[in-house]
Amino acid sequence: MASKLIDVREYTVRAHKRQIHTRVFNFVCKECNEATKRETFGPRPLYCETCRPPQVPKKSQPTAHKAKPRPMSYKSDTDLN
């Protein structure tokens, strides 16, 4: 079995099994207008397997926090007392 080294920066989850529920949808493709069948676990698909637009891989982006404002001390030329 091939193995590779990865950097885990966010968090680690214990290995587990998850059951997902899939359904077979019969629908008409939005692009080619042909009746088709597709198994999916989400909502009803719009496109068949050949017309489906390419999916952009999702990347986890670190949240960039803006620095909090710091209190400033001002020096005046005139004395108020």
Q: What is the pLDDT of residues 13-27, one digit of tens each?
A: 778 888 888 889 999
Average pLDDT, the chain: 80
CA distances from 46 to 11, 25, 34, 62 (A): 34, 10, 11, 32
pLDDT score for 60: 62
pLDDT at 31 > cutoff 80: yes
Please identify which residue in the block is written with the tokens 């803006």: 66
SS3 content of the chain, % helix, strand, coil (to 5): 0, 15, 85
pLDDT at 67 > cutoff 90: no
Q: For the ranges 22-26, 61-65, 68-72, which has the lowest average pLDDT? A: 61-65
Band the pLDDT of 56: cuts 50, 70, 90. confident
Dihedral in degrees, nearest 10, Cα atoms 17, 19, 20, 25? 130
CA-derived radius of gyration, the chain: 27
